[in-house]
Amino acid sequence: MPAPSLSPTVRTFTGGAASRAPIGIFDSGLGGLSVLRAVRAQLPDEAILYVADSLYAPYGERDDDFIADRTLAIGEWLVERGAKALVVACNTATAQSIALVREKLPIPLIGVEPGIKPAALQSKSRVAGVLATQATLRSARFQGLLERYAADCRFLCQPGHGLVQAVERCDVGSAELRALLRGYLEPMLDAGADTLVLGCTHYPFLDAAIRDIVGDRLMLIDTSVAIARQLERVLGQHGVRAATSVADTPLPLFYSTDDGIHQQQLAATLLHIDAAVEQVLIPSRRTATPDSRAA
């Protein structure tokens, strides 16, 4: 069923139309599929529109204005397609732009952020590692999280250079990837960490490769289930939860700004969702220039 096309100026839904409207989920690429997995498990009756901005991934090495520009353009695109709420399933986009985008979009937004609070609550050794993108780690929002929740826990913050690119290629276990991960994780183990915050939504897809390196010496903190619960609360507060249905969970509608081949492959192999991906053009101010693909 095609999603209703609504103008961005339509600010509210009413009655049944509201609850039947889809949830928009967006990421710089395929990482947000880890959030989509949790949302489908928590809210099986909700229709979902998923946009991967894979043409412009990784965001983590982009400047802040570029990330905000893309997040806003994709949020507006999803609103035009009738999304009743938007999950910014990207730590980097949330860190750099959620406040600005929230002001401009007429629907509720749910962002994601590295699980510093649960890590500080659960770490026994009081040393925890954080793997996230460079842009997330340098953001004021992330520094604020450390100030608020780190307390007496020492956080070892490691940019995960190369990891997003690997997942975007559907590489979740090659020798090169494992070597990269080992270089990031072994210093954390040597420093006494017992907890690892997966501060990028791409990284839960690397859990098996991470486990092979760290065994059970690190507790992995992935916030996707907490995000799905938060989304459920927000939909409830706005009175726009989908009605319970006996039908199967609807297939998400997948969109990508690149050819979508890897998205289809990752969704099939890791989420067991067989769905076509539609390639879409989502223009934005910063991508109007010919060299905008270069990170």
Q: Please list the active-site residues.
A: 90, 200
127, with CB counted inside 10 A (0-12, 13-18, 19+), is middle
Distance CA 29, CA 48 (A): 16
The residue from 22, 58, 115, 252 that contacts ligand DGL (CB under 6 A) is 58
Is residue 287 at the binding interface for ligand DGL, with CB under 6 A as the rule?
A: no
| Residue 90 beta carbon to ligand DGL: minimum distance, rounded to whole angstroms | 4
Q: Which of 74, 39, 79 is nearest to 53 (CA)?
A: 74
Confirm or reject binding of residue 59 to ligand DGL (CB under 6 A).
yes
Give whichever of 29 and 82 is closer to ligand DGL, judged by the CB atom: 29
State residue 282 phi and psi, 5-degree precision: -120, 95
279 contacts: CB under 8 Å, gap ≥ 6: 255, 256, 257, 258, 259, 260
Query: Which residue number, 17 or 259, has a Cβ lying nearer to ligand DGL?
Result: 259
Sole binder of ligand DGL in the list 57, 189, 196, 220 (CB under 6 A): 57
| Binding segment toward ligand DGL, per CB under 6 A, in 17-25, 52-60, 204-212, 249-257 | 52-60
Q: 146, exposed or middle or buried, with CB in 10 Å at 0-12, 13-18, 19+? A: middle
Residue 90 touches ligand DGL, criterion: CB under 6 A: yes
Q: Which is nearer to ligand DGL, 13 or 254 (by Cβ)? A: 254
Residues in the chain: 295
Q: Would you give the DSSP letter of residue 279? A: E
Q: CB of residue 30 vs ligand DGL: minimum separation in angstroms?
A: 8
166 vs 218, beta carbon nearer ligand DGL: 166
Q: Closest CB to ligand DGL among 240 and 264?
A: 264
Q: Per CB under 6 A, does 71 bind ligand DGL?
A: no
Distance between alpha carbon 174 and the CA centroid of its chain, in Å? 23
Footprint on residues 225-264 left by ligand DGL (CB under 6 A): none
Q: Which of 22, 24, 60, 204 binds ligand DGL (CB under 6 A)?
A: 60
What residues are paired with 219 via a beta bridge? Answer: 195
Q: How far is the CB of 164 from ligand DGL (least distance, A)?
A: 4
Concatenating the DSSP letter of every residue in 251-278 gives PPEEEESS--HHHHHHHHHHH-----EE
219-221 β-sheet, strand order? 154-159, 127-132, 195-198, 219-221
Q: Which of 22, 24, 29, 159 binds ligand DGL (CB under 6 A)?
A: 29
31 binds ligand DGL (CB under 6 A): yes
Site of interaction with ligand DGL (CB under 6 A): 27-29, 31, 57-60, 90-92, 133, 136, 164, 200-202
